[in-house]
Structure 1
Amino acid sequence: MGRQQLAGFHRRRGRNPYRRRIHQRLRETKMRTIFFAAALLGLAACNAPQTKAPEGPPTPVAVDAPSGQYALDPTHTSVLVRARHFGLSNYTLRLANVSGALDFNAEDPIKSSVTASIGADSVQTEYVGQRDFDDELENSEWLDAARHPSLEFRSTAIELTSANTGRMAGDLTIRGITHPAIFDVTFNQGYRQHPMGFPMALLGFSARGTVKRSDYGMRVLLPLNPGGAGVADEVDVIIEAEFTQPVAPAAPAN
């Protein structure tokens, strides 16, 4: 084959429409692959966890009540105790004889402190029947009121969890045995002066906590295994409390 014929042969090969189509499809496939990879990278960047600046402690809600010493108002306070009863219901009783004090810091609530005392002989179950169930719970197998006449709580630390909620840690003493206890507390309302005009400031709180009665030597009717028949070891404590502080009446206008 001569040079001219060979050159013509190569030119004809270069003009092959099938080869052009193949190259074009390869280029298109390559571009689609690039676009697809870029899209995946974009999605990954969007879904990557965002780094947040560390949040500071919650700002406490403003309280329209003065700092200082407050006394627990027993007529507007309740302490309920609930325990799972053979898996059937949450049996509820009340501890009626309650006293306490609050050292309240309105500017910095975590610096506040609480003490409370409950009469061990003040159990109210409203049990219907001939047996004196209140007395049974107050006796030596349970609260042992004769030897340990009161349940005591003294706070040791308060941590804010939101503007009007916190976690209060303290020492709880039952039957002369002391263990740490934690209560989740909600601040409900405060008044610089009673809404009905009485000369006193008011503060109101709700609190909930869980206590293991076996920690305090109360092992009567404990289930032999978790979920078994018996009265639950973990006992819920539900508190509604109001505190009062006397305030001097306003001076009469001249």
Structure 2
Amino acid sequence: MATWKIDPAHSEIEFKVKHLMITNVTGHFAGYDATLNSDKDDFSDAKISFEADVNSISTKNSQRDEHLKSPDFFDTSKYPTISFQSTGVKKKDDENFVLSGDLTIRDVTRPVDLDVEYTGTLVDPYGQTKAGFELKGKINRKDFGLTWSATTEAGGLVLSDDVRLALAVQMVKQA
């Protein structure tokens, strides 16, 4: 069984939410950890666990970040982490998979599917074996208790319910 750990210096964990239904706000988590275990070189049997520190959230706006940490959204004083535990991998072809798992936000756990593109494995100049993956998915924030909402004076929504997830992940094989 090979164990791989995420390389945070070469990975990005991002999300996008429509604001005023005309533009996207992008945010990311700076603090996170992930482990991948696999017996097969093609990762078709991978078991993945992931955890993000919600207090590390950044949308490049400190006022908005504090609001996201408040009880209106993530309520980080009660629920400081977001976690994902894989339940299965479906191989579509040599480079594309569907990763299924349980996502937990605010102590609410729901199944999610993420599209995964395997971008390759190589040995870096320092002798470390690394593997790259691009993951994409979409969740409804209200399914996880993130129900804060507001409307504009014209009656339009301030935030969409859909949150798009985009992860660029580099994993390092452990000795």
Using structure 1 for the length normalisation, give the TM-score.
0.64
In structure 1, list runs of 5 or more residues that go unmatched: 1-66, 248-254
How far apart, in 2, do the equivalents of 1:246 and 1:71 lie? 7
Find runs of 4+ consecutive structure 1 residues off by over 6 angstroms: none
Structure 1 residue 88 and structure 2 residue 22: aligned? Answer: yes
Larger radius of gyration: 1
How far apart, in 2, do the equivalents of 1:109 and 1:93 lie? 28
Structure 1 residue 140 and structure 2 residue 74: aligned? Answer: no
CA contact (8 A) 1:151 1:175 kept: yes
How far apart, in 2, do the equivalents of 1:205 and 1:76 lie? 11
Match of 1:213 in 2: 141
Match of 2:88 in 1: 157
State the shift of 1:167 in Å: 0.3
Higher relative contact order (CA 8 A, sep 6+): 2
Match of 2:52 in 1: 118
Cα RMSD for the two superposed structures = 1.9
How far apart, in 2, do the equivalents of 1:109 and 1:75 lie? 22
Matching residue's letter, 1:212: N
Matching residue's letter, 1:93: G
How far apart, in 1, do the equivalents of 2:42 and 2:29 lie? 31
Structure with the largest fraction of strand:
2
Structure 1 residue 189 and structure 2 residue 117: aligned? Answer: no
Q: Residues 121-162 of structure 1, C-alpha deviation per residue, up to 9 Å, x if partnerless?
A: 1111112xxx62211111111011111110000000100112
CA contact (8 A) 1:167 1:184 kept: yes
Query: Out of 32, 48, 51, which is 1:98 matched to?
Result: 32
State the shift of 1:215 in Å: 0.6
Match of 2:111 in 1: 180
CA contact (8 A) 2:3 2:37 kept: yes
Matching residue's letter, 1:239: L
Structure with the largest fraction of helix:
1
CA contact (8 A) 1:70 1:102 kept: yes
In structure 2, list runs of 5 or more residues that go unmatched: none
